[in-house]
Structure 1
């Protein structure tokens, strides 16, 4: 049996966030360009209902992608701030030791 440690890097999270932003853009553009009417009697009502559902679902999915990407960017930013704070604390400790 093999085991390994999982390492999640900042660049990996940034790529994930960027990918979700790209998906959001693509879905938002695609769903907005869907036709909203057709001429086919009773079938047109059914088709329009399906298209509206797809438009709503696509818009909601795009919104969720945006939220997910924003959360990832926020986590990356928080990590950087924590890392900076830890570095400052070590520098202060080093200065105290050298006194």
Structure 2
């Protein structure tokens, strides 16, 4: 019996949670390239409504991922959040919106 283990990486969305950690678009792109190279299945790329940098990161990661992995964007369950995420994900061939209720 074989089974596939899917890699769902949230580093680019949650990576700034530990105290003292700060990430930017350039660093996110470096990490995303490595995740694609390692054949990750899903990259949760960011929360584009939170800042212009997160928006740009999601856009750039969508370009980098091509059809090799799914690019997810986090949103709150608010129309504007979802619209901004959809705009940022236009560059992704395999886009997904991850919506949560706080």
Query: Given the two structures, how large is their TM-score scaled by the length of structure 2?
Result: 0.24
Greater RCO, 1 or 2 (C-alpha within 8 Å, sep 6+): 1
Query: Given the two structures, how large is their TM-score scaled by the length of structure 1?
Result: 0.24
